Structure 1
Amino acid sequence: MTLPAVNALVFDVFGTVVDWRSGVIRDGERLNEAKGLDVDWAAFADAWREEYQPSLARVRQGERPWRNLDALHRESLEQLLERFGVDNLSDEEIEHLNRVWHRLDPWPDSIPGLNRLRTDYLIAPLSNGHMRLLTNMAKRAGIPWDLILSAELSGHYKPDEEAYLTAVDYLDLQPAEVMMVAAHERDLEASREVGLRTAYVHRPLEWGPERADDTERPAESAYDVVAEDLVDLAEQLGSEPIL
Structure 2
Amino acid sequence: MTANTPPKALAFDVFGTVVDWRTSIAALVGQVLSAVGRPDIDAFAFTDDWRMRYLIGMRDFGQTGRGFVKLDILHREMLDALLVDMQLDLAEADRHTLVMGWHRLEPWPDSVEGLNRLKRRFPLVTCSNGHIALLVNMARHAGLPWDAILGAEVAQAYKPAPAAYQRTAQALDIAPGELCLVAAHHGDLFAARAAGLQTAFIHRPLEYGGAPAPDLQFQQPWDYEAGSLTELAERMGC
Q: CA deviation at 1:5?
A: 3.7
Instruction: Work out the CA distance in 2 between the residues paired with 1:14 and 1:90.
Output: 26
Deviations 1:177-233 (A, max 9, x none): 211001111111111122211100001101003x169897x98x8111111110110
Q: CA deviation at 1:84?
A: 2.7
SS in 1 for 2:64: coil
Deviations 1:84-105 (A, max 9, x none): 3432x32122111111111111
Report 1:1-243 matches (<5 A).
5-38=6-39, 39-87=41-89, 89-209=90-210, 211=211, 222-239=221-238
Kindly, what percent of the aligned residue pairs are identical? 43
Instruction: Work out the CA distance in 1 between the residues paired with 2:173 and 2:215.
Output: 35
Q: 1:2·1:238 contact (CA, 8 Å) conserved in 2?
A: no
Q: CA deviation at 1:31?
A: 1.3
Instruction: Work out the CA distance in 1 between the residues paired with 2:199 and 2:236.
Output: 12
TM-score, with normalisation over the residues of structure 2? 0.91
Q: 2:19·2:107 contact (CA, 8 Å) conserved in 1?
A: yes
Q: Which amino acid aligns with 1:41?
A: A
SS in 2 for 1:222: coil
TM-align CA RMSD: 2.1
Q: CA deviation at 1:155?
A: 1.4
Q: CA deviation at 1:4?
A: 5.0
Q: Which amino acid aligns with 1:72?
A: L
Q: Give ranges in structure 2 of 5+ residues lacking alignment.
A: none
Instruction: Work out the CA distance in 1 between the residues paired with 2:168 and 2:18.
Output: 18
TM-score, with normalisation over the residues of structure 1? 0.90
Q: CA deviation at 1:71?
A: 0.6
Runs of 4+ in 1 over 4 A off after TM superposition: 1-4, 212-216
